[in-house]
Amino acid sequence: MKYKRILLKLSGEALMGDKTNGIDPIKLDNYSKEIKEIYNDGVQIAIVIGGGNIFRGVSGASKGMDRVQADYMGMLATVINGLALQTCLENNGIQTRLQTAIKIEAIAEPYIKRRAVRHLEKNRVVIFGSGTGNPFFTTDSAAVLRAVEINADVILKGTRVDGIYNLDPEKNKEAVKFDSLSFDEVLKKGLKVMDTTAFTLSQENKLPIIVFDINIPGNLKNIIKGEKIGTRVDL
């Protein structure tokens, strides 16, 4: 296996399937089975999941809601998604721990870096909920921050498209896909991979990012094996 410890970033929207909001149990189970394949191979897996399928802080703030309050609501949405994913993973026989950056001790452990690493070493999947625990930071930033803290080998960003394009491939049929890019090329071309804070943190810590289509069966396992899938961003 090319990667021993990974951070998988999933958007909240990925859980919707064909729904307009909420969680699609079939989609959730499909992701759990994909994760189980690499789990059974001994890969150490951490996951950060967004909350956009339930509530998005930026959207709430744009409609007149206090941004700080809206962001906290978004953090709670990520915890709901984390609980759903934890349940589904455990139903598939995967030992899982949910840790949150804000204390909700009745349902999840508080985030402690050493404890998270120990869980990974014991082959437990660790889900990080509630983002960084701070308003104004996205779950992309949380994903990179946690990946750096646990010394992950790579960030795997699962999306609805099969990589990074020069244009939105869902809107433009002439969009061209990049197989690989440097961090500097992404910035020069003005490509949207993650928000600026997250991307800069990844660049500073020399942490590669692979953007891929999470909805194609086998993609996750094949990336772990070292196959060139999606778009890799590196130094």
Q: Residue 121, exposed/middle/buried by CB under 10 A (0-12, 13-18, 19+)? A: exposed
Q: What is the pLDDT of residue 170?
A: 83
The reported pTM is: 0.94
Q: Which domain holds residue 152?
A: 5-234
Q: What is the number of structural domains in the chain?
A: 1
Q: The CATH number of the domain where 193 resides is what?
A: 3.40.1160.10
Q: What is the pLDDT of residue 59?
A: 74
Q: What is the pLDDT of residue 112?
A: 97
Q: How many other C-beta atoms lie within 10 A of the C-beta of residue 87?
A: 14
Q: What is the pLDDT of residue 62?
A: 72
Q: What is the pLDDT of residue 214?
A: 94
> Which residues make beta-bridge pairs with 231?
211
Q: List the alpha helices (DSSP H) in the chain.
A: 25-39, 57-62, 67-91, 113-121, 139-149, 183-189, 196-204, 219-224
Q: Residue type for 9, please?
A: K
Separation CA 4–CA 124 (nearest Å):
13
Q: What is the pLDDT of residue 199?
A: 95
Q: What is the pLDDT of residue 171?
A: 87
Q: What is the pLDDT of residue 191?
A: 93
Q: What is the pLDDT of residue 38?
A: 97
pLDDT tens digits for range 98-149: 999 999 999 999 999 999 999 999 999 999 999 999 999 999 999 999 999 9
pLDDT tens digits for range 35-48: 999 999 999 999 99
Q: Which residues of the chain register pLDDT less than 70? A: 57
Q: What is the pLDDT of residue 20?
A: 85
